[in-house]
Structure 1
Amino acid sequence: MGGGRSRAALVAKARESIAEGSKSFTVASWLFDKSTRERAHLLYAWCRRCDDIADGQEYGFRDGARDLKLDQASAKDRVEAIRILTHRALDGQPTADLAFDALGLVAAECGITREMCDDVIDGFALDADGWRPRSEGDLMRYCYHVAGAVGVMMAKVMGVPSDATETLDRACDLGLAFQLNNIARDIWDDDAAGRCYIPEEWLVEMDIPPGQLMKPAYREQLVQLAGRLVSIAQVHDMRARVGAGRLKFRQRWAVLSAANIYGAIGKKVHARGEAAWDHRVRIGFLAKMGHIASALKETMRGSYPPQLEPKWTRGQLMAAARMAGPVAGVPNTPLRDEGVRRKED
């Protein structure tokens, strides 16, 4: 495993990848013990590389001279290349790409499966096919692919066994919360790239015509939609915090720190109101240190039980993903909307 490269070389390259690609996750990851931190970086390198290949970018940024609305056929070819390289790496074959070789290594060390990886890649396939969510359930299925499934893989990196279903479910919740906050923050960027992750049913409710989401006339409705995303994220975030209590001390501290930082993104979007997309929301270094300090207190004290349970569970989203398959063009599988339920004592 590792494509014949030394573990040290793969870890060093992965560390460079995360330093360039995600300042927030870099800060939180340094709270892990050395072994967990290295494995988290190896996994991140694969995630980052897949994202860059799928979108034709580097460390999350495109060349300004290039067309943001990439050719769909080319995008599908890139996703297929991601899948082939990933499967080669998992089979212990060299890929000539450090990030995929890194995945092969961390997968062998932590028990990350092909099914877990394919769940993530299927999210890239949805984007490559020009997919749009029609319902809230469709949105959550997408979030499962691109973030919830990654949360499960991160749990494996932290040593959570495959039969610890409850803990894996909570790891998925955290990934869902992260992605929903990111979608709320990146509505303008996504629109500029020809993408929209706001469910069509939500847009219809707000009387926003197709393609008009960012028009000034609809800014008030947009604020409400972003608030809806953030509210759903907060429910999943609360569930995830309880699951973090089952982790080792440093792992719990790192996870709660990341939850605080990404949660602050959603809160900041909500607080800015109609000005939320004038400038990209960022969390400064000092603010991150404050969130890490708060996470330390919560790590020692424990998290409060959530008062609400989310509509969408990992089991529901996995089932919908299996039924829909990896091809985004097939009809979406409707998910049963059970509503947000108040937790019973």
Structure 2
Amino acid sequence: MAGSRAQLVEAARRSIRRGSKSFAAASRLFDRTTRERVWLLYAWCRACDDIADEQDHGHAVAPGPVGTSMAPENRLATIRTLTELAIAGEDTGSPAFDALALLMREVPVTRAMVEDVMAGFALDADDWRPRGEADMLRYCYHVAGAVGVMMAVVMGVSPEDEDTLDRACDLGIAFQLGNIVRDVWEDDARGRCYLPIEWLVEADIPPGEITKPHYRHALVPMVARACELAREYEASARVGAARLAFRQRWAVLSAANIYGGIAREVERLGAHAWDHRVHTGKIDKLRMVAAALAEARREPAPAPRPTLSRRELNAAARMAGTPKGASADPAR
């Protein structure tokens, strides 16, 4: 039997505290009900990430006996099976996936929203690489923007409010762009690169050599280009945040300041951005939360939606076809 609501919420709280101190801190600004639902969503996302990457709350685990590691497509199948059980409201045997089932009973998160997130895991399982800028943004949409859409619904945004959902998606895309530029070295060590192949060609960086010391300066303008995109998406998201209730607006703007600060710091450091992993210290986080409080009390600067936002990227994903291991949802 699945745990009680209190047990699932407590398991989700422990998960977010282990997996993301920044996100855990920002979640305290929500009212209790919203905060608990945010934890439930995080727990499912974290569990999916960990299964996909064979990690424990984002950290490497000791390798098991030879031959026990699962192939990427099998890890994706595990994620999909457990998620399908959760969508059906059945006991999954996993608190994190039962958390998704509970969340879908309490808020109008749709199957299509869940499928959009699942498509990101399918891209990674298929060893997919972005060829152009639009491909990179499509990846950001699936792995983070689609989570932003679910988060907005958790915070009370109607599934019919397309523009606000678009802008919630934009914030997730901005966050993921920051992750991409920060994690160039870590991703390369795992055989991955999420900067567009076309950008690497323009910079004369051969495939697989992005982290070679003599290409570091060629990488800087490319990273600045991604950071400029992140600013564009973040500005759009701040407009959407203004439509939320005050405490939710404060929490979202705090997260935007903290996570947006990652891309800004990477850009500031230039060729030294990867000497050490960029992170936001506790004092800086407190300062950013205080700044978000002031921002939440005033009107945001006007900002248009980016040319490629949720609906455009969703349409592009449908045209590109469904990655292996993902299921197509004919209702979308």
1:154-209 superposed Cα distances (whole Å, 9 cap, x missing partner): 00100111111111011000000000001110010000010000100000110111
Alignment counterpart, residue 165 of structure 2, candidates 165, 168, 172: 168
- TM-score with structure 1 setting the length: 0.91
CA–CA distance in 2 between the matches of 1:115 and 1:279? 38
Alignment counterpart, residue 316 of structure 1, candidates 294, 312, 317: 312
Alignment counterpart, residue 12 of structure 1, candidates 10, 13, 20: 10
Cα offset, 1:311, TM superposition: 2.9
Alignment of 1:51-62 (within 5 A): 51-62=49-60
Letter in 1 for 2:307: K
Alignment of 1:165-314 (within 5 A): 165-306=162-303, 309-314=305-310
Larger CA deviation: 197-206 vs 317-326: 317-326
Change (3 A) 1:329 1:138: farther
1:336 aligns to what? none
1:335 aligns to what? none
Letter in 2 for 1:314: R
Larger CA deviation: 291-300 vs 115-124: 115-124
Cα offset, 1:80, TM superposition: 1.3
2:76 aligns to what? 79
CA–CA distance in 2 between the matches of 1:158 and 1:39? 9
Structure 1 outlier segments of 4+, above 6 Å: none
- Contact conserved, 2:2 with 2:93, CA < 8 A, in 1? no
1:142 aligns to what? 139
Q: Which runs of 5+ in 1 are unaligned?
A: 331-345
CA–CA distance in 2 between the matches of 1:261 and 1:4? 35
Question: Does residue 115 of structure 1 match 2:112?
Answer: yes
Question: Does residue 44 of structure 1 match 2:42?
Answer: yes
CA–CA distance in 2 between the matches of 1:314 and 1:118? 14
2:330 aligns to what? none
Q: Which runs of 5+ in 2 are unaligned?
A: 327-332
Letter in 2 for 1:21: G
Change (3 A) 1:66 1:311: farther
Cα offset, 1:64, TM superposition: 6.0
CA–CA distance in 2 between the matches of 1:217 and 1:85? 45
CA–CA distance in 1 between the matches of 2:60 and 2:17? 18
- Contact conserved, 2:107 with 2:154, CA < 8 A, in 1? yes
CA–CA distance in 1 between the matches of 2:33 and 2:272? 42
Letter in 2 for 1:96: G
CA–CA distance in 2 between the matches of 1:66 and 1:237? 41
Cα offset, 1:10, TM superposition: 0.3
The residue matched to 1:92 in structure 2 has which SS?
A: coil
Aligned length: 324
User: Alpha carbon RMSD of aligned pairs, Å?
Assistant: 1.8
The residue matched to 2:280 in structure 1 has which SS?
A: coil
CA–CA distance in 1 between the matches of 2:160 and 2:114? 18
Identity over aligned pairs, percent: 57
1:327 aligns to what? 323
Cα offset, 1:324, TM superposition: 2.7
Change (3 A) 1:154 1:309: closer
Cα offset, 1:152, TM superposition: 0.3
Alignment of 1:97-112 (within 5 A): 97-112=94-109
1:29 aligns to what? 27
The residue matched to 1:301 in structure 2 has which SS?
A: coil
